[in-house]
Structures are given as structure tokens and as C-alpha cells.
Amino acid sequence: MIKKLFSFNVLLFLFVSGCSLGAANTDEYKVVFNNRPSQQGDEEQHLTEYTVAIIPKVINIPYFNAVEEGAIEAGRELGVKVIYKGPTVADSKQQIKIIDELIENEEIDVIAVSANDPEKLIPVLKKAQNHQIKVITWDADTLQEGRDFFINMVNPETLGRHLMDTLAWNVGEQGEFAIMTGANSASNLNEWLKWIQQHQKEYYPNMKLVTIAATDDNPNKAYLIAQKLIKDHPQLKGIIGNSSVGPPAAAQAVKEAGKAGKIAVVGLSPPNPMNEYLKDGSAQIITLWSPKKLGYLTVALSKNMATGVHPYDNQEIPGVGKIRMLDDVVTMGEPIDFTKDNVDQYDF
């Protein structure tokens, strides 16, 4: 009888321990369903530093200095090494040389160019592409084949027509006017010129374009040209500066000629160099976008290109805001007008 009880107990014990053994060996938590492992904690930041070369049309003018500031700022914030190098004069040959040197001497992921000439730069940009360097353009475009996309500041039609409007407001929609553009070969300037003239023909028949003078973005040359314009065209009512060098030179010349208020000066220029002229009436309205923002955006999009992200319509770029994308052209935003009332708000 005792033996029998014993053997029964042994059986019972084996059964019970068999049950509890299963429970004791498992963890406190039993995974029922696993969709995918949690990414939290596993994230490793890509610490690869990309190098982006930003090539402006020319250096040492306020506009491109402001771009540089934005680009450097973006480089710091986004962790990108930014090389900002450009020719001292707006010349495609010098640009080509600089790009060539960069391709040969530096490890570069992306080159972003504001092209002085849409065609002449193509070979060197292709060479860059052959070196596995992504090429984009900003400010001034090249032919499509030379780059992946173009970062435009504003819609050229909008800008061109708006520039014409700002002059028309200040001259009573009549009289002679001249345009000071940058390099004759710069595609963006030519695009704007086209729309300025188009707009004038459509809406301001009483106005007459007397001449289009190229300054090659050289402040000295621009100043001389402005003086010459004032002298050559006594009936001149207004000057449109189609590149950022134009308006300050024109304003200075107008001021010196004692014709402040009589010859309206409008155009594209950063507000800082125009601050005084706007306030003393030598210039009326200056239009531009934020070159800092442009520099920032160029670096941001360059970095995205390096990581393989193409820009898309309505994309939110931190520090810049939303961008538009149509075909292969990115548009940064709308133009800003600077007058004597708001010019103090801006610092570039």
C-alpha cells in the first residue's frame, strides 16, 4: 500500500513538475506577435560628411556674400562641408577653371553652380558628373543636360513682370527707361529681360526702353554705365537694375547727378547696399528674394541629392519653408519688395 501511494505520488510529481517546467523556463514576457522589431534605440546616425561645392557667378558682391552666409549657415546646421568658391568677375572661363580644380583636387559629392554661361559650362559639368559628382544649378541655369535640376529663386515671368510694374508705378507709366543687366550670357537675366520687355509691350505702351546695358556684375563698370546712361538720355525717367549690381550703381549715379526722384531706380538688389538710397529717395523700390535663403536652400538640396533624395513639389525644407517643383526647376518663393519703410527689417 505504501509503495502504491509512493508510486502514485511520483507520477503526480512528474506530471506537475512537467507542467511547471514549461512555465519556469520561459521569460517574463512571451511574444505573441512580432510585426517588425522596434527601430528605437537601433538608430545610428549616418555620420558620413558630405562635401558640397557652391559656385557663385562672382564673389565679393553683397548678393553673393549673402548667399555665402546662408550656405555656410546651412552647412553648419546640416552637417555638410561647404566649399564656397567663385570667380572674382562674372566670367564663365574662370568658373570652368574653378570647377575643374575642384573636381581634380577635392572629394566632392555635389556641385551647385550659378552659371555665367548656360552652354560653356556644360563640358566641365559633364566631367564632374563622370566623376560621380551630382551637379545642380542655382540662381542661373545651364542647359538641362548639364545638371539634375535648377534652383530658381522666383518664377522668372513673375519677377520680370513685377520689375516692370515697380518701375511703372514710379514713373507714371510713361517715359524712357533703361535696363542695366549683368553678363549678357547669363540665362536667368535674359529670361527676366524677356519678361520685362514683354510686360512693357502688353501694358505700358507709353513707356520706351532706350537701352540694355551689361555690367558684367562689376560695380565699377556698372557705376560708369549708369553715369553714361544719365548723360546720354536726358529724357530718361527710370532705370531697372536687372542684376544685383545695377541698382546701387544707378542710385549712386542718380544721386550724384542730382536727379534723385526724377529718375526712378528699381531693380534687383539686396536691401543692405540700397538702404541709404531708398531712404534718401535715390531709389524707390528694390526687389529681391533672400539670397541667404537661397544659399541655405542650395546646400540643403545638395545634401539631399548626396543622400539620394530628389526635391518634390511642396516639399518642406527646414529653415526655408515649402518649395515648389515644376519639371526640373525648383522655385524657392516669391520676390520681396524693399522700400524705405521696410528696408530695416532685412539684413543682407
Q: Of 48-87, which residues contact another protein (CB under 8 A)?
A: 69-70, 73, 77
Between 199 and 292, whose beta carbon lies closer to another protein?
292
47 binds another protein (CB under 8 A): no
Q: Based on the shown chain and the rule CB under 8 A, indicate whether residue 35 belongs to the binding site for another protein.
A: yes
Q: How far apart are CA 213 and CA 179, in angstroms?
A: 6
Choices 115-123, 195-203, 206-214, 284-292; region in contact with another protein by CB under 8 A: 284-292
- Cβ(248)–Cβ(218) below 8 Å: no
For another protein, which is the closer residue by CB, 9 or 220? 9
Q: Which residues pair with 207 in a beta bridge?
A: 175
Instruction: Decide: is 132 part of the binding site for another protein (CB under 8 A).
Output: no
* Nearest approach, Cβ of residue 21 and another protein (Å): 14
Q: Using the rule CB under 8 A, which residue among 39, 105, 235, 314 binds another protein?
A: 39
Q: Is 33 in the site for another protein (CB under 8 A)?
A: yes
Residue 25 or 132 having the CB closest to another protein: 25
Closest residue by Cα to residue 240 from 171, 143, 137, 326: 171
Closest CA to 154 of 15, 290, 55: 290
| Least distance in angstroms from the C-beta of 328 to another protein | 23
CA dist list (Å): 217 to 184, 246, 247, 339? 10, 8, 11, 23
**Per this entry, what is the length of the chain?**
348
| Residue of the chain from 2, 5, 21, 32 that contacts another protein (CB under 8 A) | 32
Strands of 85-223 (E only): list them: 110-113, 134-138, 150-152, 175-181, 207-214
319 binds another protein, rule: CB under 8 A: yes
Least Å distance, CB 119 to another protein, is 33
Q: Is 335 in the site for another protein (CB under 8 A)?
A: no
Q: Cβ distance 80 to 74 under 8 Å?
A: yes
Report CA-CA distances (Å) from 112 to 54, 57, 217, 281: 5, 11, 20, 37
Q: Is 18 in the site for another protein (CB under 8 A)?
A: no
d(CA 141, CA 99): 15
Measured distance CA(153)–CA(239) in Å, rounded: 22
Q: Does 105 bind another protein (CB under 8 A)?
A: no
Confirm or reject binding of residue 347 to another protein (CB under 8 A). Answer: yes
Residues that bind another protein (CB under 8 A): 4, 7, 23, 26-41, 69-70, 73, 77, 289-290, 292-293, 296, 318-321, 333, 336, 342, 345-348
